[in-house]
């Protein structure tokens, strides 16, 4: 058996080295030339700003925009940021986490229905999922502002059936912010889930049923594991932007619902404490990357990285 | 789960007036079929004749429009697939891509919470000669290996009936021949009833104890391979299984032999080989059962002269050398071309196009079919 494998690799290597060396190095060079614009783009708009951001986070906080900042490698900015904004960091990840879980439970049945049950309405339903993107993020979030308004239909109905107390409100609460986050990032969960459900060969489900799995077990043992790549991708596409979001908290919440995005926003644009804002940004980035790596490892979906 | 873990003996399966309609289209039409316990049973028929649909109804993956499926006496037609002691080897194998070979094979055992999985799976992988592949994923196996995993995954459950839907269709010819022998060996070893769907008549003939030839949702004929080949019941069967010469005739008298007038010559056919005993008929004879001689010469094969029929006045139209045999097309005086296979064993004369020849056959090599049937039914295009 191993002999066969060895034989195959040898054969593959053999064919790879057959062409003469000159055209190959030429071709390789062409490849690099084609990469250049993208690399330049990445360098200018990602690498340089990232380095600049990290540098800013180490400036002396006593400086100011007008008189300039001094580079003192003020590592202390980080513990300062963590102690000052621990609540907002925690709240961001909690809201984003809840919104992601809610989005999974809303999106999975929807994606499943579109992939397997929609018949000729499949494309229409997909268009409807994407339709909100035709208006801006801001407008959609403002719409939620009026949906959840104190004198609105939703609050009124909830009060009538007694779920909400007479003086209760939805707007300016955690519920409103999480609802806004869930709504805004739902399509990012639905689309990758749909893409990976759609690819599943239904004959595999039939095979599972033939092998003594009832409908639910067939789903749990075949459909769900095969849709895992979509689930992981959707989770990342929802959780990452949701934890850095500040619009939903701004428009649907109060300072009591402030997320780390609002903190960064305020430090950059209102307080003008650039080192503090940069330290928060870098912390957020590192935290997210760590969580994502851990999550992807655990779920066994490494090929997404 | 009521089934016990006693070694499964194959079960008797009976289909009664089993019908499947897709909207207006009748895919399986009041099918009646009996499959004996422990048989290797082949369902043979052209594409679209309803073989897969029949199999899916037995497995429970398709709900019959009407009719019964009796397994050892119980009607299982309305049972959910996971409640039936029946397993399937799918045409495309349908192996679970996210599970390794071991877990694929163990799937059915785990679902039924049967203990002691490892030795059972190992033993099954040994049976299909894949012991070394247990930790691989299906995508890392060759087509033939995947096919054997699919077989092991079904067999390990010791079903009362194993359904195989063209399990060898995706393999190349050589591997297919090898797997045919393998399947036959395994079936003999485990003693489970196999229902094997195929549209390869050679495959059905070499493997099956009993063959049902299906066409347009009904069974045309059921029987052993030799019976179907030597004494087909319809023109469809005579053409679909091998080749046939069907010559128009009219019955003159019917007794122990049915005597038929064939374009002015009298031919006798034993009564047990006659599906009709009056009126217009097709006289059928297989190409290799026809003897060819130079015009006016007596037939040389023993027995042919006593009970045989000679049709004179043929002219060789085409000759094709195939190796073990030579295939002749002989143009008869009434315009029909007869196919004749002559073995290249050196005992016969060679003929060339334009040579005048006579054709001879023995009565017990012929069969009589109803002339109302299409002489070209079941022929390959
Ligand atoms: N779900 C369905 N809806 C409508 N018609 C169907 C459906 N499934 C099968 N049919 C039709 O029923 C007929 C029988 O199909 P079936 O799959 O049983 O053929 P088959 O004998 O297995 O052919 P093949 O050898 O090509 O696999 C075909 O004409 C097919 O078009
Ligand atoms: Mg089929």
Task: Tell if the CB–CB gap between A225 and B88 is shorter than 8 Å.
Answer: no
Supply the DSSP symbol for B81.
Answer: G
- Residue by residue, DSSP assigns A199-232 as TS-HHHHHHHHHTT--HHHHIIIIIHHHTHHHHH
pLDDT at A97 over 50: yes
Overall domain count for chain A = 1
| Alpha-carbon gap, residue A115 to A24, rounded angstroms | 44
Nearest Cβ partner of B81 from A209, A221, A225? A209
Tell me which of A154-168, B97-111, B297-311 is least confident.
B297-311
Per-residue pLDDT at B231 exceeds 70: yes
Residue A269 falls inside a structural domain: yes
Rounded to whole angstroms, the maximal C-alpha distance in chain A is: 83
Ligand nearest to the CA of B54: 1
Q: What is residue A6's predicted lDDT score, i.e. its pLDDT? A: 38
pLDDT for the residue numbered B212: 95
Residue B35: the pLDDT is 93
Q: What is the dihedral of CA B35, B216, B147, B138, to 10 degrees?
A: -130
Read off the pLDDT of each residue in B109-124 and give the average, rounded to a whole number.
94
> Which of B51, B58, B63 best tests ligand 1's pocket when mutated (most atoms within 8 Å of CB)?
B51
Q: What is the pLDDT of residues A180-210, one digit of tens each?
A: 999 999 999 999 999 999 999 999 999 999 9
Comparing A52-56, A175-179, B373-377, the range with the smallest average pLDDT is B373-377
Smallest Cα distance from A104 to chain B, Å: 22
More confident call, B305 vs A152: A152
- The predicted model gives B4-8 an average pLDDT of 42
Q: How far is the CA of B229 from the centre of ligand 1 (A)?
A: 26
User: What is the mean predicted confidence (pLDDT) over B297-320?
Assistant: 78
Name the token pair of A100: 């992601």
Residue B9 pLDDT: 62
**Number of the ligand 1 atom closest to the C-alpha atom of B51:** 21
CATH of the domain at A220: 1.10.3720.10
* pLDDT beyond 50 at A121: yes
Q: What is the mean pLDDT of residues B354-367?
A: 91
Q: How confident is the model at residue A13 (pLDDT cuts 50, 70, 90)?
A: very low
What's the rounded mean pLDDT across residues A242-251?
95
Please state the length of chain B: 381
Say which residues have a Cβ less than 8 Å from residue A282's Cβ, sequence separation at least 6.
A53, A54, A57, A78
Q: Which residues of B touch A (CB under 8 A)?
A: 59-61, 80-82, 86-88, 90, 92, 94-98, 107-108, 111-112, 132, 153-154, 157
pLDDT of B256: 87
Q: Does domain B243-370 have CATH number 3.40.50.970?
A: no
Domains of chain B, by residue range, sit at 11-230, 243-370
Instruction: Select the residue of B97, B108, B132 nearest A211 (Cβ to Cβ).
Output: B108
Highest mean pLDDT among A153-162, B146-155, B338-347: B146-155
pLDDT at B3 over 50: no
Return mean pLDDT, chain B. Answer: 90
**pLDDT over 90 (residue A65):** no
How large is the average pLDDT for residues B248-255?
A: 91
Q: Quick check: CB of B148 below 6 Å from ligand 1? A: no
What sign for the dihedral angle of Cα B268, B271, B273, B276?
Answer: positive
Is it the case that residue A14 has pLDDT exceeding 70? no
Identify the band that residue A235 occupies on the pLDDT scale cut at 50, 70 and 90: very high
> Percent of chain B at pLDDT above 70?
95
For range A20-32, the mean pLDDT? 70
Has residue B96 got a pLDDT over 70? yes
Q: B301: pLDDT confidence band, cut at 50, 70 and 90? A: low
Using most ligand atoms within 8 A of CB, pick from B53, B56, B201 the residue to mutate for ligand 1.
Answer: B53
Residue span of the structural domain in which A292 resides: 77-304
Atom of ligand 1 nearest to the CA of B25: 5
Share of chain A above pLDDT 90, in %: 72
Tell me the average pLDDT of chain A.
88
Q: What whole-number distance in Å separates Cα of residue A155 and Cα of residue A165? A: 10
Q: Which residue has the tokens 């009060």?
A: A159
| Cα distances (Å, whole numbers) of residue B175 to B103, B227, B278, B286 | 25, 28, 48, 29
What value does the mean pLDDT take over residues B21-34? 93
Looking at domain B11-230, its CATH superfamily turns out to be P-loop containing nucleotide triphosphate hydrolases (3.40.50.300)
Q: What is the pLDDT of residue B56?
A: 95
pLDDT for B319 equals 93
Q: Report the distance separating Cα B192 and Cα B36, nearest Å.
A: 11
B318: helix, coil or strand?
A: strand
Residues B63-86 have pLDDT tens digits of 999 999 999 888 999 999 999 999
Distance between Cα B216 and ligand 1 center (Å): 10
Band of pLDDT at residue A290, cut at 50, 70 and 90: very high
- For residue B24 and ligand 1, the question of a CB distance below 6 A is answered with no
Q: Is the pLDDT of residue B129 over 90?
A: no
Separation CA B194–CA B10 (nearest Å): 8
Whole-number Å distance between alpha carbons of B288 and A30: 66
Of B61, B107, B132, the CB nearest to A206: B61
pTM strictly above 0.90: no
Residue B199 Cβ contacting ligand 1 at under 6 Å:
yes
- Residue nearest to ligand 1 atom 30, measured at CA: B48
Q: Which of A275-279, B1-5, B189-193 has the lowest mean pLDDT?
A: B1-5
Exposed / middle / buried, residue A292 (Cβ in 10 Å: 0-12, 13-18, 19+):
middle
Enumerate residues 187 to 216 of chain A having a beta carbon within 8 A of any beta carbon in chain B: 201, 203-204, 206-214
Does A208 contact B88 at a Cβ distance shorter than 8 Å? no
Nearest-CA residue for ligand 1 atom 2 is B22
The yes-or-no verdict on residue A2 having pLDDT over 80 is no
**Residue A271 scores a pLDDT above 80:** yes
pLDDT at A4 over 60: no
- CA nearest to A203 within chain B: B94
Interface test with chain B among A212, A220, A229, by most B beta carbons within 10 Å: A212
Find the mean pLDDT for residues A60-66: 87
Task: Compute the nearest-CA separation of B113 from chain A (Å).
Answer: 10
Q: Name the residue among A204, A209, A210 with its Cβ closest to that of B96.
A: A204
The stretch A67-80 carries a mean pLDDT of: 91
Report the separation in Å between the CA atom of B49 and the middle of ligand 2, taken as the mean of its atom positions: 8
Q: Which residue has the higher pLDDT, B100 or B303?
A: B100
Q: How far is CA A121 from CA A127, A130, B127, in A?
A: 10, 14, 48
Q: Whose CA is nearest to atom 26 of ligand 1?
A: B47
**Residue B345, pLDDT score:** 81
Does residue A55 sit within a domain? Answer: no
Mean pLDDT, to the nearest integer, of A40-62? 94
∠ CA B152-B157-B158, nearest 5°, is 95
């Amino acid at each position: 058996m191993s002999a066969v494998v060895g034989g195959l690799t040898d054969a593959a290597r053999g064919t790879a080295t057959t062409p003469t060396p000159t055209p190959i190095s030429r071709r390789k060079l062409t490849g690099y030339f084609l990469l250049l614009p993208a690399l330049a783009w990445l360098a200018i708009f990602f690498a340089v700003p990232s380095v600049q951001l990290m540098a800013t986070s180490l400036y002396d906080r006593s400086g100011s925009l007008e008189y300039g900042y001094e580079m003192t490698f003020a590592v202390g900015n980080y513990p300062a940021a963590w102690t000052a904004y621990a609540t907002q960091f925690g709240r961001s990840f909690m809201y984003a986490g809840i919104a992601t879980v809610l989005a999974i439970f809303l999106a999975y049945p929807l994606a499943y229905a579109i992939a397997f049950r929609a018949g000729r309405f499949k494309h229409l339903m997909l268009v409807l999922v994407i339709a909100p993107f035709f208006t801006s993020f801001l407008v959609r979030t403002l719409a939620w502002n009026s949906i959840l308004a104190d004198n609105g239909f939703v609050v009124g109905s909830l009060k009538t059936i007694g779920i909400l107390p007479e003086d209760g409100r939805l707007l300016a609460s955690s519920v409103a912010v999480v609802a806004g986050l869930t709504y805004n990032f739902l399509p990012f969960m639905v689309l990758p889930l749909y893409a990976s459900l759609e690819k599943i060969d239904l004959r595999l489900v039939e095979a599972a049923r033939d092998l003594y799995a009832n409908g639910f077990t067939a789903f749990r043992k075949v459909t769900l594991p095969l849709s895992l790549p979509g689930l992981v991708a959707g989770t990342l596409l929802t959780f990452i932007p949701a934890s850095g979001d500040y619009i939903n908290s701004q428009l649907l919440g109060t300072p009591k619902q402030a997320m780390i995005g609002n903190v960064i926003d305020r430090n950059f644009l209102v307080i003008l404490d650039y080192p503090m804002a940069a330290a928060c940004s870098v912390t957020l980035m590192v935290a997210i990357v760590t969580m994502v790596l851990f999550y992807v490892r655990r779920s066994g979906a490494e090929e997404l990285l | 789960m009521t089934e016990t873990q006693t070694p499964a003996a194959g079960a008797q399966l009976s289909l009664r007036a089993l019908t499947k309609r897709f909207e207006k289209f009748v895919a399986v039409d009041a099918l009646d079929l009996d499959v004996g316990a422990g048989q290797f049973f082949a369902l043979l028929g052209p594409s679209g004749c309803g073989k897969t649909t029949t199999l899916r109804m037995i497995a429970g993956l398709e709900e019959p429009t009407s009719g019964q499926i009796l397994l050892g006496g119980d009607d299982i037609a309305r049972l959910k697939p996971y409640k039936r002691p029946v397993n399937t080897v799918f045409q495309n194998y349908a192996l679970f891509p996210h599970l390794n070979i071991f877990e694929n094979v163990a799937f059915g055992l785990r679902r039924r919470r049967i203990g002691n999985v490892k030795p059972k799976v190992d033993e099954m992988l040994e049976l299909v000669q894949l012991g070394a592949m247990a930790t691989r994923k299906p995508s890392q196996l060759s087509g033939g290996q995947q096919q054997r995993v699919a077989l092991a995954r079904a067999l390990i459950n010791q079903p009362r009936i194993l359904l195989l839907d063209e399990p060898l269709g995706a393999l190349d010819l050589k591997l297919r021949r090898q797997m045919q022998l393998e399947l036959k060996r395994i079936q003999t070893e485990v003693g489970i009833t196999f229902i094997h769907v195929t549209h390869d008549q050679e495959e059905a003939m070499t493997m099956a104890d009993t063959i049902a030839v299906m066409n347009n949702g009904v069974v045309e004929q059921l029987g052993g391979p030799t019976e179907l080949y030597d004494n087909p019941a319809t023109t469809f069967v005579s053409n679909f299984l091998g080749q046939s010469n069907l010559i128009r005739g009219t019955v003159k008298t019917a007794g122990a032999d049915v005597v038929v007038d064939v374009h002015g010559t009298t031919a006798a056919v034993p009564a047990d080989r006659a599906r009709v005993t009056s009126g217009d008929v097709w006289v059928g004879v297989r190409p290799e059962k026809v003897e060819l001689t130079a015009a006016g010469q007596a037939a040389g094969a023993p027995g042919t002269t006593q009970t045989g029929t000679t049709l004179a006045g043929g002219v060789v139209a085409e000759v094709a050398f195939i190796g073990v045999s030579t295939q002749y097309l002989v143009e008869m005086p009434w315009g029909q071309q007869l196919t004749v296979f002559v073995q290249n064993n050196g005992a016969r004369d060679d003929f060339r196009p334009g040579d005048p020849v006579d054709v001879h056959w023995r009565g017990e090599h012929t069969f009589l079919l109803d002339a109302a049937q299409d002489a070209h039914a079941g022929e390959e295009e």
